[in-house]
Structure 1
Amino acid sequence: MNEQYEAIDPEDDFAFEPKWGGHAPRGGKAVLNRVLKEGTRVPLFLGQTFINSLRDVGYNTTTSALCEHVDNSIQGGATEIRVYFHQTGRPGAYSIDALVFDNGRGMEPHVLQVAMSFGGSMYYDNREGIGRFGVGMKTAALSMSPAVEVYSWTEPGAIYTMTLDVKDISSKMSNLLELPEPQLLDALPSSVARILTKPMVFPRSHAEQDLLADDEDELLDRMGRSGTIIHIPDCDRVTYKKAQTLAEDAIREMSRIYRVQLSQGLRLYVNNRRVYAFDPTYWDLNARHTHVEGIKEKRSRLIKSWPEIQVPVSENSDSTAPVAVRLYMLPIEEWYDLPRKTLKNDLHVFDGHTVSFMRNDREVFSGTVRELAGAGHGDNDWLRIQVDFGGELDEAFGVAMNKQGVRPKKYALDCIREHIREEVTRVRNRTAQFRKERRAVDSGTKVSDAERRAGEADALQAKPLPSPSPTTKEEAAALEANLRGLAVSLKRKDETNEEAFERIKNSKFITTFRHDEYWPFYHVDYQFGKVVLTINTAHPFFSKLYDPIAQLTANGGADLGSHSDTDEYDAGADTSEILVALQMLLFSLGRAQSQMSLEGDNPERAKLFEDLRREWSETLKTQLTAL
């Protein structure tokens, strides 16, 4: 045996001394010492330390913690729920009390006592509703404050209350901690009644606040026959320090999480402001996006639904349960040109709500899921996937006890992806094609300098192109009619027919765009003295070269690379010149092809150029896609 280790003689007195931290609960120390030294019976849970530990269960945000109470209210049959953030104190030292009121069925005294115990639930493992375990109400409240007060009534004027106080429980010396009997009150404490009857600090305008009651006498009537109040005073652990930020976050998240219930008539208020449903799929016509000014199309397009995709309830299980999946495409054609503020701030198109998981009509996750929607990309902004499942699939989708997100098992995602992959790809491709075409059209207005400069340089060319020269009024009128027809076919977005005609009439070189999988990367027509260059947005030439340069130009050349502060360098100007030069390269090619095809009216030469264009296009496509 290595001499540096000394064997312990079993006859020696040996005792392990607990090394607790300085803030460990005093009552817990007493119980543990009693167990170690006196050999008393060991409780399954050391309550004094257990309840302290529950403060660190961990909720992502204050809103997610309060959602536990809203869940309970909904499960309790509430039709009206009010969430409050009551702010007092000075700037920089605000104190926040949180409160949740509902008009649900309330709890009898013995039910209230069970509900205040950990694991006590009237719905334990019932997977048809929202709650399952009987711990959410307590852990959520204690994650925000060391104390929580609950008031519940099943008949007017008979309010039963109980309090969980971490400091009080931590100081108890008993091995067995029992809950006290609920206390009977005939009225709410003034601190609670004040929150329910007075305007909040936020919203600042009292006119924006719809109070539950104007005074305490009216409050008793408004509380109704039954209901429950969760009061969480002196919150020391909240996501934000101001009531305004807390309320704004709660409104934003709860409007989406409870969109089904809100659309069905649930009245939910945050700081006396009514919350309306926000549907990230934009399918619900009762949701708030339908009231955004300036939008004509109010609904997304349901591409396809899969009402019953069977998913095993656990890995390798023979038992399955159905999952309903719906794939939507936002109305990109109608919304694409809306002001950025409308798309971003009012419609929230770019907030990343690509995939939404709904458990029993309550959202448990919204965000990006690459396995279902593909890699994150701008095209994903315009598609939505909603996955609806029941509580029997909690293990398959990794739903946590506190309902904060999902961790789907691979087999569950594979089952869904197998059904929806092709349709998702089609939506992404349609979106990509539309965005390319629109960028091409938009960039067309940015490269008009190339058309102008090519036209100015044409007078210097050694061989002029043949141009129509009408000698009579009839010929001039015919030429104008032809140009007007050409202008209509080449009209850009937001251009009137007359504006298009003026542009075509005054331009010798014209750029237009087309999306065609079977076309070469460019096409040239010479019509009525105009060289019309068509660029194919479906060809890799556009996506690999032309479009990236156009986007760099639009962004001021921000992605070109770094340059020292002493350089006199204008990246935007450089990329603009590159884009102009690229288009003039194509113009020169088109002009030369037009001129040589017209000389001698030789069909064989024209066919030779056509064959060359196609062969060149295919060769370029192969090389670019092989990169």
Structure 2
Amino acid sequence: MITIDPGDIPVVLSGRALLSLRESGHNFPSAVGEVIDNSLESAANNIEILTTTELRNRKKVLSRIAFVDDGSGMDDDTLHHYLQLGFSRRYMSEKTIGKFGVGAKLAGLSVGTRIDAWSRVAGSSEIRHVVFDLDEALRAEENGGTAVISPPDDEPLPTDLGPHFPTGSGTVVMWSKIDRVTDNEGRSTPDHVLVELKKELARIFRAFLGGGIRIKVDGVLLKPHDPTFRQKGTWAEQVLAEHLKATGREVGDLRGQVFHDKIVKVEGTTHEVRVVITLAPPEVVRVKGAGGDALATKLRIPENEGAISFMRLDREINYNLVAKLFPGGVMTKDRYIGFEVHFTPELDRMMGVRNVKRGAVPSDGLRRTLKNIANNVIPGVREEIDRIWGQADRETAKNSGEHNSLAHAIKAADRTMPKARAKPNLTKAQVAREYDNLAKDAGRDKSEEEKAAYVQEIKELPFVIETVDIPGDDLFQLTHLEGQTIIRLNERHVFYQELYEPLRALSKEQNGLSEVPATARRAVQAITLLLVAYAKAESMHETPVDQYKELRKWWGTFTDQYLTKISHIL
């Protein structure tokens, strides 16, 4: 028996400690996810989230959140301990979603200061109730008492929740006295946070939703959202099918292409993880510059740029960037790449998993393992994106003629400027072949008539500018003919993809109230004019290829390297 000295004090002032623990690192979706975890562990097949709003200081706010599940329920002993911090029937288990005994409690208190729970087990007719109110606990401590959880009682469910309780076993958890509901950016309007909640839950629990578990938010049944595009029956599949039907196109298999799906050993350990890297289907990748349009936004493509999904027992615990993992840094095109890491709870420490199951910081060994895989796989995925874009460009001749107005203006200006001195000494057949190749690169060779018209159109221009797909790290290529220079701007180069193309897309926006598109057009024209001026300077040498080929090569290489190294400030 331990004798307590009159001068002894409690190790923890429970109420005040819980007040501090409200800052547990949860946002609203992650807090809600903790309760869903408990429902899944109790073998629930149906989970319903019901929200209530009220006007507070003339501002609409969430006032109550209720969770209803048809799981196995809790007997009196379990229910009594349900709100006790640290209690868990699965404490430190490596076979279950939860193991710390703090998740759902801290989750509820991160949102509001009162948690009620009602539960019924199979074979019982009684619904039992337990409650913890942080405000009452603080008052008890201030008056010299102790914060406690009273035994279960028979307090009835709120009237409006009664019809939602399952006919058999089940549980209702209710959060009230809500004072801090926000998303990752601190926005708190009910409409916004509920939209974000549905999006996050659909991704976090996608494996369970895809397997038949039903999760509803205010009556809306969630469809799984899979950034890797491997699952069927997803939100993206529905959106894509509707889009394709509306545009008169056939709906085929809308799943992504898998580039890597292997169990790998973590460097320096005996542990293994499963790493999946995929590419969204061509119907999503579509054409260059479409990654931020209305369809892409609806498919949640922009938020996937460089994000890695860490899946613990098929439940996502983190979806975010991992610094310096993608080769050469994260590129805009990487938003089409799905990247998943699957692991089991025994790797929690290595994964940096916290007790709130939010966030994962891979250990050095795992980071090196993932980086090695990324270096081997992602360049090939990026090449496939370029191939899809190139094919789309050739089919639509998207970029052909985009520089026509500038080229004709330069022709007029060039009449009074020094003439080119380049002497390529090409035969007529060689010149004709150069024009044939350019027509093919520009997607203007679908018929002999189209090709002939294109060649006739460009023959008299001193400079021909086309955006084309060039393998390698050349920023642009120049072909000097007699009195004419062909400029091929490389759409694969990082300068084009990260700077030129976004400006070009912005310049095409229709917004009569903004000067931004006009400014973007001038920027695109100015950059193109700089290339023309360089080409003009090079053409003043009789043998420009011999003289400047290496210079051009290094220019493209160094531009690539600088942009990659300082992309964080651009």
TM-score, length basis structure 1: 0.69
Aligned-partner Cα distance in 2 for 1:578–1:420: 33
Partner of 1:576: 525
Does the CA contact (< 8 Å) of 1:65 and 1:140 recur in 2? yes
| Structure 1 vs Structure 2 CA RMSD | 4.3
The separation in 1 between residues aligned to 2:83 and 2:402, in whole angstroms, is 67
Indicate the SS of the match to 1:161: strand
Q: Distance in 2 between matches of 1:311 and 1:359?
A: 19
**Does the CA-based 8 Å contact 1:43-1:176 persist in structure 2?**
no
- The farther-off stretch of 373-382 and 385-394 is 373-382
Shift of 1:164: 0.7
Conserved 8 A contact 1:396-1:409: yes
Tell me which residue corresponds to 2:440.
489
What secondary structure sits across from 1:298 in the alignment?
coil
Q: CA deviation at 1:524?
A: 5.0
Equivalent in 334, 337, 346 of residue 383 of structure 1: 337
Determine the C-alpha separation between the residues in 2 that align with 1:139 and 1:543: 45
Secondary structure of 1:325's match? strand
The answer to whether the 8 A contact 1:96-1:243 is kept is no
Which residue in the other structure is 1:255 paired with? 202
- 2-structure distance, mates of 1:41, 1:582: 80
1:137 Cα offset (Å): 1.9
What's the counterpart of residue 447 of structure 1?
403
1:266 corresponds to which of 201, 213, 218: 213
**Equivalent position of 1:400 in the other structure:** 354
Query: What are the superposed Cα offsets for residues 313-346 of structure 1, whole Å, 9 maximum, x if unpaired?
Result: xxxxx6x321110111234686233584344321
Aligned to 2:458: 507
Deviation at 1:145, TM superposition (A): 1.8
CA deviation string 1:413-469 (max 9, x = no partner): 123323442222443465568779989975543211244356668999999xxxxxx
Gaps of 5+ in 1: 1-34, 194-215, 313-317, 464-480, 558-564, 594-607
Please show how residues 185-584 of structure 1 align to structure 2 within 5 Å. Answer: 188-190=157-159, 192-193=161-162, 216=163, 219=164, 223-239=166-182, 241-292=188-239, 293-295=242-244, 298-310=254-266, 320-331=270-281, 335-337=285-287, 340-352=292-304, 354-374=307-327, 375-428=329-382, 431=385, 444-453=400-409, 489=440, 492=443, 502-508=453-459, 509=461, 510-512=464-466, 513-517=468-472, 521-523=477-479, 533=486, 535=488, 537=490, 572-573=521-522, 576=525, 579-580=528-529, 582-583=531-532
CA contact 2:64–2:175 (8 Å) conserved in 1 = yes
Change (3 A) 1:99 1:324: same
Deviations 1:472-502 (A, max 9, x none): xxxxxxxxx9999889735538988866654
Q: Distance in 1 between matches of 2:66 and 2:107?
A: 12
Gaps of 5+ in 2: 245-250, 421-431, 509-514, 560-570
The answer to whether 1:157 aligns with 2:125 is yes
Distance 1:383-1:518 versus aligned 2 partners, 3 A rule: closer
Give the Å deviation of 1:92.
1.3
- Residue number in structure 2 paired with 1:81: 47
Q: Specify whether residues 521 and 48 from structure 1 end up closer, same or farther in structure 2 by C-alpha distance, changes over 3 A only.
A: closer
Please give the alpha-carbon distance, in whole angstroms, between the structure 1 residues aligned to 2:390 and 2:434.
Answer: 27
Quickly say closer, same or farther: Cα 1:534–1:143, change in 2 above 3 A: closer
Cα separation, partners in 2 of 1:232 and 1:622, compared to 1, 3 Å: closer
Aligned residues: 508
Question: How far, CA to CA, are the matches of 1:41 and 1:570 in structure 2?
Answer: 72
Partner of 1:622: 554
State the secondary structure of the residue aligned to 1:72.
helix
Q: What pairs with 1:117-136 in structure 2 (closer than 5 Å)?
A: 117-136=84-103
Look up the equivalent residue of 1:235 and give its one-letter code: I
Distance 2:194 2:497 in 1: 47
Residue 24 of structure 1 corresponds to none
Letter in 2 for 1:579: T
Contact 1:352/1:368 (<8 A) preserved: no
Give the corresponding residue for 1:114: 81
Q: Which residue of 1 aligns with 2:135?
A: 167
Amino acid at match of 2:300: H
Distance in 2, Cα, partners of 1:382 & 1:93: 37
Mapped contact 1:104–1:226 kept (Cα < 8 A):
yes
Deviation for aligned residue 1:503: 3.9
Deviates more, 1:72-81 or 1:110-119: 110-119
- % of aligned pairs identical? 20
AA at the equivalent of 1:363:
E
CA distance in structure 1 between the aligned counterparts of 2:173 and 2:147, rounded to whole angstroms:
22
Which protein has the larger Cα radius of gyration, Structure 1 or Structure 2? 1
Task: Tell me if the contact between 1:355 and 1:366 (Cα under 8 Å) persists in the aligned partners.
Answer: yes
Q: What letter is aligned with 1:64? A: S
Moved more, 95-104 or 392-401: 95-104
Tell me the amino acid that sits aligned with residue 507 of structure 1.
I
Whole-angstrom CA distance in 1 between matches of 2:337 and 2:447: 32
The TM-score, its normalising length taken from structure 2, stands at: 0.76
What displacement does 1:570 show? Answer: 6.8
Instruction: Please report how far the alpha carbon of residue 619 of structure 1 lies from its aligned counterpart in structure 2 after TM superposition.
Output: 3.6
Give the whole-Å Cα distance in 1 for the aligned partners of 2:331 and 2:220: 35
Stretch of structure 1 that moved more, 491-500 or 147-156: 491-500
Distance 1:225 1:404, change over 3 A: same
Structure 1 residue aligned with 2:154: 184
Distance 1:180 1:462, change over 3 A: closer
Give the direction of change, closer, same or farther, for the CA distance of 1:242–1:506 in structure 2 (3 Å limit): closer
Cross-structure match for 1:49: 16
